[in-house]
């Protein structure tokens, strides 16, 4: 009988222990090795993400985590010059809090219960030039009030052409919303616009929509973020109805024709929360150049239009601002004056030439005076109403080609919403746009002066 039969085979034990120690020494601190995988659990496409100063970036981690186990993500070392949040358990959303060029980093940890698998450093290079937005997502924002049942939000046109956002100019780009569970309210995307249904019976709040955009047939993915601000609303809202006046009803022999529109006539079909005394309402005309032979002046608190029928063959919009002591904010209104059309009406069919006329606007200084709202003023500019283009919009291309510098623009179909911060800066702003039908292109400049 062998008395050592029940003792452990020490040489084997020591050998195995030696192997384990050697393995541990070889692996060092790489606690992320799992199930024999000799590489990091996190396999990000890159370690450094580039964007412009003050920009944002969205990182999808699901593709980079090389395990099917349930994992939890946490940021153990936050960024020093920005904010990093985890959304839907898979996306890291980083936004810079500085407008200065800088470098930043944060540390992401992957764990399963109490077991830490991996920690990775993600670097941010926020020094890229404007034309090299590289990894940055496309950011935009929208506003509403607690009185809104729903909002229709079109994405803004980039102020400069960029290869980073080619999908915005695609006729039918697709959008997939990434963080539905984190959004306050409901968001849908249809007809190239977001439709937002805010929750009811709540106060002011903000929420964010993270999404992926793609061009049909293209495998490239583009990330975007839409910030929605909902302010405390007033159940009463001013309803300013546009007026259309036709000078073509006057016999040709009566031209040149002059018509006068006073404050009372402009306000006749409008509804106001606080009805002012018309004698105390002041009128400011938003000046612009007109395509047709038409002169517009403001005199005695009225708009006076003079037209020559020989050249006035379309519709000209005339924008104005009304202000009254009873109102907290001024109100923007518009009238359209229609002249007699020629036998070849503009905008019919696809066989038509395009024309883009320059526009000049003058806004009162109070549009940039700090205070109230979300710190900005929004004004619709119907810049295409003095242009010619094909009626079938699919045959006409419209793009902002340069600027603006001091504000931003949103696309409203074929109109423009100009957004100016209320920061006291009265600098004159300009931007240009291009209108094309096939190879036939026209470029026009829009000037916005603040006086």
SS (H, E, C) 393-410: HHHCEEEEEECCCCCEEE
262 with 177, same domain? no
Can you tell me the mean pLDDT for 427-438?
84
pLDDT at 312 over 80: no
Residue 15's pLDDT is 46
pTM score: 0.43
On whether residue 111 sits in a domain, the answer given is yes
Give the least confident one: 192-196, 267-271, 322-326, 427-431. Answer: 267-271
Percent of the chain's residues with pLDDT above 90:
3
213 with 284, same domain? no
CA dist 153 and 155 (Å) reads 6
| Winning range, highest mean pLDDT, from 44-48, 267-271, 341-345, 441-445 | 441-445
227 with 142, same domain? yes
116 with 151, same domain? no
Enter the tokens of residue 212: 């992926």
On whether residue 39 sits in a domain, the answer given is no
Residue 430's pLDDT is 93
Count the domains in the chain: 4
Q: Which residue has the higher pLDDT, 29 or 314?
A: 314
On whether residue 11 sits in a domain, the answer given is no
pLDDT at 342 over 70: no
Q: Is 252 helix (H, G, I), strand (E, B) or coil?
A: helix
pLDDT at 27 over 50: no
Dump pLDDT digits (tens) for 231-269: 876 656 665 655 555 554 444 455 667 778 788 777 765
Residue 177's pLDDT is 92
On whether residue 240 sits in a domain, the answer given is no
pLDDT at 123 over 70: yes
Residue 34's pLDDT is 32
Dihedral, CA atoms, 5, 10, 11, 14, nearest 10 degrees?
Answer: 160
What is the bridge-based pairing of β-strands 56-60 and 91-96? antiparallel
CA dist 313 and 315 (Å) reads 7
The domain that holds 60 is classified in CATH as 2.60.40.1080
pLDDT at 31 over 70: no
Instruction: Tell me the Cα Rg of the chain.
Output: 30
The domain that holds 331 is classified in CATH as 2.60.40
Give the least confident one: 243-247, 338-342, 386-390. Answer: 338-342
Enter the tokens of residue 229: 């601000």
Residue 129's pLDDT is 65
On whether residue 242 sits in a domain, the answer given is no
Report residue 270's pLDDT band, with 50, 70 and 90 as the boundaries.
low
Residue 313's pLDDT is 57
147 with 108, same domain? no
**Where does a domain end: 70, 102, 126?**
126
pLDDT at 348 over 50: no
164 with 199, same domain? yes
Report residue 64's pLDDT band, with 50, 70 and 90 as the boundaries.
low
pLDDT at 447 over 70: yes
**Where does a domain end: 306, 339, 372?**
339
Pick the closest to residue 378 from 335, 416, 345 (CA basis). Answer: 416
pLDDT at 288 over 80: no
Dump pLDDT digits (tens) for 70-86: 677 888 888 888 888 88
Enter the tokens of residue 427: 């600098």
Sheet-wide strand order for 205-214 = 138-145, 222-231, 205-214, 174-177
The domain that holds 166 is classified in CATH as 2.60.40.10
Enter the tokens of residue 385: 């109403």
Dihedral, CA atoms, 391, 393, 394, 398, nearest 10 degrees?
Answer: 140
pLDDT at 67 over 70: no
* Arithmetic mean of pLDDT over the chain: 71
On whether residue 347 sits in a domain, the answer given is no
Q: Which residue has the higher pLDDT, 36 or 203?
A: 203
Residue 248's pLDDT is 46
Q: Which residue has the higher pLDDT, 226 or 116?
A: 226
On whether residue 335 sits in a domain, the answer given is yes
Report residue 131's pLDDT band, with 50, 70 and 90 as the boundaries.
low
116 with 144, same domain? no
On whether residue 344 sits in a domain, the answer given is no
**Where does a domain end: 95, 126, 157?**
126
Residue 444's pLDDT is 87
Residue 338's pLDDT is 62
421 with 363, same domain? yes
Can you tell me the mean pLDDT for 38-62?
72
75 with 155, same domain? no
Q: Which residue has the higher pLDDT, 270 or 60?
A: 60
Can you tell me the mean pLDDT for 433-437?
78
Residue 179's pLDDT is 87
Pick the closest to residue 278 from 256, 295, 300 (CA basis). Answer: 300
Q: Which domain holds residue 112?
A: 48-126
Burial (CB count <10 Å: 0-12, 13-18, 19+), residue 259: middle
Report phi then psi at 425, rounded to 5: -80, 115
Q: From the centroid of its chain, how far is CA 56?
A: 13
444 with 378, same domain? yes
| Winning range, highest mean pLDDT, from 154-168, 358-372, 433-447 | 433-447
């Amino acid at each position: 009988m062998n008395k050592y039969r029940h003792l452990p085979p020490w040489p084997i034990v020591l050998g195995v222990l030696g192997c384990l120690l050697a393995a541990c020494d070889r692996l060092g601190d790489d606690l992320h090795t799992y199930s024999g995988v000799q590489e990091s659990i996190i396999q990000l496409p890159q370690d450094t993400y580039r964007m412009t100063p003050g920009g944002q970036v969205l990182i999808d981690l699901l593709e980079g985590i090389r395990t099917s186990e349930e994992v939890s993500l946490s940021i153990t070392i936050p960024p020093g010059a920005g904010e990093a949040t985890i959304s839907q358990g898979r996306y890291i959303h980083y936004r810079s809090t500085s407008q200065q060029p800088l470098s930043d980093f944060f540390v992401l940890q992957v764990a399963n219960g109490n077991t830490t698998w991996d920690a990775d450093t993600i670097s941010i290079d926020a020094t890229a030039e404007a034309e090299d937005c590289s990894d940055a997502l496309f950011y935009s924002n929208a506003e509403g009030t607690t009185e809104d049942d729903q909002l229709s939000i079109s994405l803004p046109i980039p102020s400069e052409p960029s290869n980073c956002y080619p999908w915005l100019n695609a006729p039918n780009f697709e959008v997939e919303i990434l963080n539905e569970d984190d959004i306050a309210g409901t968001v849908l995307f249809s007809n190239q616009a977001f439709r937002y249904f805010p929750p009811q019976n709540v106060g002011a709040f903000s929420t964010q929509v993270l999404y992926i955009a793609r061009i049909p047939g293209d495998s490239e993915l583009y990330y975007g973020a839409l910030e929605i601000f909902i302010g405390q609303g007033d159940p009463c809202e001013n309803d300013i109805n546009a007026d259309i006046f036709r000078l073509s009803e006057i016999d040709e022999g009566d031209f040149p024709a002059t018509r006068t529109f006073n404050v009372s006539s402009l306000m006749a079909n409008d509804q106001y929360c606080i009805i002012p005394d018309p004698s105390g309402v002041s009128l400011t005309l938003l000046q612009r150049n007109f395509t047709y032979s038409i002169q517009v002046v403001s005199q005695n608190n009225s708009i006076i239009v003079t037209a020559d029928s020989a050249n006035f063959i379309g519709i000209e919009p005339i924008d104005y601002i009304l202000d009254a002591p009873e109102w907290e904010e001024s109100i923007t209104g518009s009238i359209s004056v229609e002249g007699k059309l020629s036998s070849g009406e503009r905008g019919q069919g696809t066989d038509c030439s395009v024309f883009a006329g320059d526009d000049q606007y003058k806004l009162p200084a109070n549009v940039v005076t700090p205070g109230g709202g979300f710190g900005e003023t929004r004004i619709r500019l119907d810049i295409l109403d003095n242009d010619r283009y094909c009626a079938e919009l699919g045959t006409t291309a419209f793009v902002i080609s340069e600027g603006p510098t001091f504000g931003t623009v949103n696309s409203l179909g074929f109109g423009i919403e100009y957004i100016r911060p209320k920061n006291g800066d009265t600098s004159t702003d300009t931007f240009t746009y291009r209108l094309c039908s096939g190879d036939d292109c026209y470029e026009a400049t829009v000037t916005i002066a603040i006086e």
